[in-house]
Amino acid sequence: MGPALMNVDLNSVVLALVLGLIFLVLFEILRIHVSRGRTPPGRRPFPFVGTLPYFIKDPMGSARSIHHYGEMATEYLGRQPVIILNTVQITKEALVQEASTFSGRPTLPLIDWITNGLGIIMVTFGHSWRQQKKFALNTLRHFGLGRKSVEERVLEESSYLVAEMLKAEGMAFDPQHAVQNAVSNIICSIVFGDRFEYDNKHFAYLLNILNENFMLTGSPVGQMLNLVPFIKHFPGPHQKILQNSSELMAFIRKKVKEHRQTLDPENPRDFIDAYLLEIEKQKIHEDSTFHDENMVMSTSDLFLAGTNTTTTTIRWGLIFLTENTEVQERCHEEIVQVLGYDRQPSMDDRDKLPYTYAAVHEIQRCANIVPFGVVHATTQPTKLRGYDIPKGTMIMTNLTAIFSDKKHWKSPDTFNPENFLDENGHFYKPEAFIAFSVGPRVCLGETLARTELFLYIVSLLQRIHFSWPLNSQRPDMDGILGAVRFPHPFKITCRSRDAKD
């Protein structure tokens, strides 16, 4: 009787589990049906995982197709609805006209795991964000952001970058490290008070793990942790994200320790010095958010944001300029006509270089490095175009749709600087160009990025001709979608230009 009863009990347990699973699936299907009736239209989500399978299968194809559902659409990150804004008009209505309501950040387990709710970029909209952003902006400006001093740093670094690239003249080489080191050196000089040589192996390693984390956080590995947060307690590829973050934090903490030991309160050298002084200054205020861990995370945010996005844009730029030789040659001719071969460019030259300046913007449009912008969240219940949107709803801007909207672009589907030129050949910026977002959470480093993009690209085109190596395979233009959209690894060939050309 014992084995028979045990068999009956086992069968009952299995039956109960099967019935329970069926009930959960049916309940989830019903919940999805009810949810879809309350939200803007969009693709039918799968139970529990939402529309993530579509993105995993074809990220950029998915991004390009969402606008067919109208100016607003709904995707699902697991069980959570995500409202997608597909036009520039509704984006500005939400992020500018209703800024306080749409400027939050969602609670994402992966981000919280890495940041502990600290820093600037992904911290929720509130007191800490306001304090940290205001301090960061004021400090960056104090150390040259938007002034000639930063411009001079970029120009000095551009001469090192040109020389570094021409070391491989005539040979096929991957420009990623040289470009990333050059870009990173600018934010490093502001934040750490130092730059790093291109052959510094430790810094090269840090840049590599930085790239790896940008890849992993937007990959299926990162999204799985957002769906099933408890897996952070178990081994797996997701642990590499925390390991890389910890190494970057250790590098910053070491820099903070060095700064604390050599700090001169009368002569702050950089962002870290200024932050150390602000911690002391704010100790008398109970609501201060200035402390060591926030300093480390805010420094990390500036370092990461000031390195990866501009680097990725320039790498895409090299692809577009190499692929479109007529654009590259026209830019070079304009640059040489205005600057010659020896005078370095300045930001004051933008009006004199309208075609080149347009090409720089066209690189940003076509690179589209953050196809859905940085995710926002509603800070309170609201309405948008007749839809009720609960507090905490994730909001994304479909820059892929906005940057290819036929209403705003002459050549929406091709690389063409004419998109940024009027009928008289003068530069103009269409309303739909919102590469740095809009509203209170506009990119903190916009001014620095604009300076770097223009001066680096002009300096490179002035001195170097770029071409594809013989018999090379062109990179897949969809790229790799992580936290940003990276180009696939590629190699190019450099040839020095001079007056004899």
Assigned fold of 39-496: Cytochrome p450 (1.10.630)
pLDDT of res. 2: 55
Q: How do the residues of the chain divide into helix, strand and coil, expressed in percent and rounded to 5? A: 55, 10, 35
For 413, other C-beta atoms within 10 Å of its C-beta total: 9
pLDDT of res. 31: 66
DSSP-H helix ranges across 263-324: 271-281, 292-323
- Number of helices (H) and strands (E) in the chain: give both, helices first: 18, 11
Residue-level length of the chain: 501
pLDDT of res. 226: 87
220-228: long-range pairs with CB below 8 Å, 24+: 220/52, 220/56, 222/110, 223/52, 223/56, 223/77, 225/109, 225/110, 225/113, 226/77, 226/78, 226/108, 226/109, 226/110, 227/48, 227/49, 227/52, 227/77, 227/78
Q: Return d(Cα 268, Cα 387) in angstroms, integer.
A: 50
Q: How would you classify residue 203: left for phi > 0, otherwise alpha for psi between -120 and 50, otherwise beta? A: alpha
**Phi, then psi, of 283 in degrees rounded to 5:** -60, -25
Provide the residue ranges of all domains of the chain, joining segments of one domain with +: 39-496
Instruction: Specify the pTM.
Output: 0.93
DSSP-H helix ranges across 84-147: 88-92, 99-102, 109-115, 127-142
pLDDT of res. 333: 97
Q: Return d(Cα 67, Cα 374) in angstroms, integer.
A: 18
Secondary structure (3-state) at 91: helix
pLDDT of res. 23: 67
pLDDT of res. 472: 85
Residue type at position 16: A
The token duo for 107 is 């609670």
pLDDT of res. 85: 97
The residues, ordered by sequence, that sit 6+ positions from 159 with a Cβ below 8 Å of its Cβ are 344, 459
Q: Please, which residues bridge with residue 376 across strands? A: 395
410-433, pLDDT tens digit by residue?
Answer: 999 999 999 999 999 999 999 999
Q: How many CA atoms lie within 13 A of 95 on its CB side?
A: 30
196, 251 contact by CB (below 8 A): no
Secondary structure (3-state) at 466: strand
398, 371 contact by CB (below 8 A): yes
* Radius of gyration in angstroms for the set of CA atoms belonging to the chain, rounded to a whole number: 25
Tens digits of pLDDT across the chain (501 residues): 455 545 557 777 777 777 777 766 666 666 666 666 788 999 988 888 888 888 888 889 988 999 999 999 999 988 889 999 999 999 999 999 999 999 999 989 999 999 999 999 999 889 999 999 999 999 998 887 766 789 999 999 999 999 999 999 999 999 999 999 999 999 999 999 999 999 999 999 999 999 999 888 888 888 888 888 888 888 888 899 999 999 999 999 999 999 999 999 999 999 999 999 999 999 999 899 999 999 999 999 999 888 999 999 999 999 999 999 999 999 999 999 999 998 999 999 999 999 999 999 999 999 999 999 999 999 999 999 999 999 999 999 999 999 999 999 999 999 999 999 999 999 999 999 999 999 999 998 899 999 999 999 999 999 999 999 998 888 899 999 888 999 999 999 999 997 555
